[in-house]
Chains A and B, each alone.
Chain A
Amino acid sequence: MTSLPPLSQRFPLTRQLGIGIGLRVPHYDHILENRPSTDWFEIIAENFMGEGGRALQVLEAIMEQYQVVVHGVGLYPGNAQGLNWEHLRRLKTLVKRTRTPWFTDHLCWGSVDGHHTHDLLPVPYTRESVLRMTENLRIAQDFLEIPVAVENISSYAEFKDNEMTEWEFLNEVAHSADVGVLLDVNNIYVSSVNHGFDPACYIEAVDAERVAQMHIAGHSRYERFVIDTHDHPVIDPVWALYARAVERCGPVATLLEWDARIPSFEEVWAEAQKARRYWKQLSASHAA
């Protein structure tokens, strides 16, 4: 097993990286032509795991100027039947190609018996799930040879068999697998509405020492539930949660996700930069 440095030293860039946005196809031309001054880009791993094509060409050009962080949607560490080695091998090729400082994916499962759901599905929060998730994340971190951080998902369902809260589950998995946490503040908000818990409790309970990165995003509110659509600006209650998360975890690398009905690059970047005001508030309070 590869020996990783202590967690405190494993994500050294997280307080230097700043604010980033997701690299998305509608913005390719704008970025390549104008070289805007965004701090970093997050890429969805599975969109760049082919062997050629425009996506990889654009990625090479982007990497000449920007730090890129790889974010997966297909690792599925919660899969009871283990990881997909073909996927993992392609992922490692991408990790090496991008020299990403860390890799993030979700606290979820997504396939069984060869049936891929292409979704981020919740696991029951049980001891068995902790063990399975831990084993798979340890294998992934060892194989990829870079630090891994796991992201809390938004969910619409809670299992009858749950033995702990989601934040207890997240902390336990992160600790036992010895991985970082990608704290998605919008996902906490979405799940809190759908399941009726206090999102502030989640923020207070998460192991702040392990938070290596944060996500913010917009969502869609329906009459009786909220769907994590990433197609709107961030709402004030999510910014309020983010402010508290920054107080607890510090100004760690933060990324705005905007994946559907994507507006202009300037609009997305302007929305992302709003995160800075909470960093300034934190600096001001420390100075005071």
Chain B
Amino acid sequence: MPTLLETQRRFSNALGERLVGEDRLLGGLARGRSEVSEHFAETARGLLRATPRLGADERLGLYQRQYWYRLLDSLAEDFPSLQTLLGRETLFTELEHYIAACPPGSWDLRLFGARLAAFVARSPRLPQDTRRLAAALARRDFAFMEVFDAPRLPEPIDADLEGAELRLQPCVRLLVLHAPVQAWLDDPNSGYAVRPRRRMRELHVVWRARDNRICATHEPLSLLPVLRELERGGTLGRLLGRCRNLPGARTLREAFMRWRAGGLLALAGEPSPRRAAP
């Protein structure tokens, strides 16, 4: 008799085998007998009892299909921009490869897409022109997941901005994206959007607001050093003193007013551990 650990490894490896058959990405369990590989069927016969009602491979196949559908649906829901860019069929093919290459490593399903941006950036199945935008959109989509249940610290609502120890809220993500994301968001049908431009960089900020809405904005790149220093925290004087190439005073003042109104700023002093990606 195999040990419990051996049994679980065989079961887990079988679930991770990619589904076969034309209908594999359509979802649903109601169709007739599903196609399975001979290796899968052999594993099932080795582990499970068959009955006249259901064969061992069908029984293991129910778990396998539920595993794949759960992960595919979850990722597709978590990466809506990527789905709009690639279309459902191309996205699901990409996700299939992702699930096989990077199976879930955390109990938190929201973290499962953490490596998808890097994965699509290298995908040989996507046209080279599309990869960079796909990776940027995937990174932006995943930031929505990251801030969803990140903590919020007290805000400097009444405090004097010039005297207080400030920092960015832990539920803020700064994204430097190497693709024309904003142009694509403004018009996803724009052919211009997927045309690569060398050294292109855009600064996007994603955060969870006071009322728990997830917000995203496109900021001028000139503000990146200030936002990076805000991540480190400090008084306004100190953190601006650490920045090189500060933007003009008016731009800075308006940015801080915008960030304070949007709830991006926090009073520093309380540690806020970020959840590690798997």
Contact = CB atoms under 8 A, between A and B. Distances in A.
Interface of A: 46, 49-57, 74, 78-81, 84, 87, 109, 111-119, 121, 123-124, 126, 128-129, 132, 156-162, 194-196, 222-225, 227
B36 to A, nearest CB: 14
Contacts of B2: 161
Interface in B31-82: 46-49, 51, 53-54, 56, 59-60, 62-63, 66-67, 70-71
A96 B154 CA distance: 23
Given A50-B150, A84-B107, A124-B7, A225 B62 contact: yes
Q: Is the interface of A mostly helix, strand, loop or mixed?
A: loop
Given A112-B8, A116-B104, A159-B49, 15 more contacts: A51-B149, A51-B151, A53-B149, A53-B150, A113-B12, A116-B103, A116-B107, A121-B11, A124-B7, A132-B4, A157-B63, A159-B48, A162-B49, A196-B53, A224-B54
Contact of A118 (B9, B71, B150): B71
B16 interface: yes
Contact of B208 (A52, A78, A225): A52
B199 interface: no
B184 interface: no
Nearest to B3: A128
A133 to B, nearest CB: 9
Nearest to B153: A52
A110 to B, nearest CB: 8
Contacts of A56: 149
Contacts of B53: 194, 196, 224-225
Given A80-B3, A222-B30, A158 B148 contact: no
Contacts of B71: 118
A112 B12 contact: yes
A159 B54 contact: no
Given A87-B107, A157-B63, A158-B48, A119 B7 contact: no
B16 to A, nearest CB: 7
Nearest to A51: B151
Contacts of A222: 29-30
Contacts of A116: 103-107
14 contacts: A54-B212, A79-B8, A80-B5, A84-B107, A113-B9, A117-B67, A118-B70, A118-B104, A157-B48, A157-B49, A157-B62, A160-B46, A196-B51, A223-B30
